């Protein structure tokens, strides 16, 4: 995804979001889906804690818990909608 804006702050926020969302496992240590896990809130808090510091040293948190929750659920749902490697291999043989 190419960013049209020249804002470095926005670039950093998007990069941090992308890295944290991509790092969320689909299942917890016990094999339960993350969205049903006790660890779910930890991942939401990680997204909500993404921040930047302005030019006079104030720290800002642009993503509240509601948006963070929506982003985590969306990431997990989109992963489910992606074709698996097995499906891609089988589809290529047709």
Q: What is the mean pLDDT of residues 51-60?
A: 96
Read off the pLDDT band of 82 (50, 70, 90).
confident
pLDDT of 76 > 70? The answer is: yes
The number of residues making up the chain comes to 94
Which one-letter DSSP state was computed for residue 59? E
In percent, the amount of the chain with pLDDT more than 90 equals: 80
Local structure of residue 56 (DSSP, 8 states): T
Is residue 83 over pLDDT 80? no
Reported in sequence order, the residue ranges of 1-94 that DSSP labels E, i.e. its strands, are 52-53, 59-60
pLDDT in tens, 15-43: 999 999 999 999 999 999 999 999 999 99
Hey, where are the domains in the chain?
A: 8-93
The pLDDT of residue 13 is 96
């Amino acid at each position: 995804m190419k960013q049209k804006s020249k804002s470095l702050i926005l670039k950093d926020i998007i990069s941090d979001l992308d890295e944290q969302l991509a790092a969320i496992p689909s299942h917890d240590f016990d094999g339960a889906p993350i969205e049903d896990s006790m660890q779910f809130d930890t991942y939401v808090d990680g997204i909500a804690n993404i921040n930047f510091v302005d030019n006079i040293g104030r720290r800002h948190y642009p993503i509240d818990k509601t948006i963070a929750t929506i982003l985590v659920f969306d990431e997990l749902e989109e992963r489910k909608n992606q074709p698996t490697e097995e499906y891609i291999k089988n589809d290529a043989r047709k």
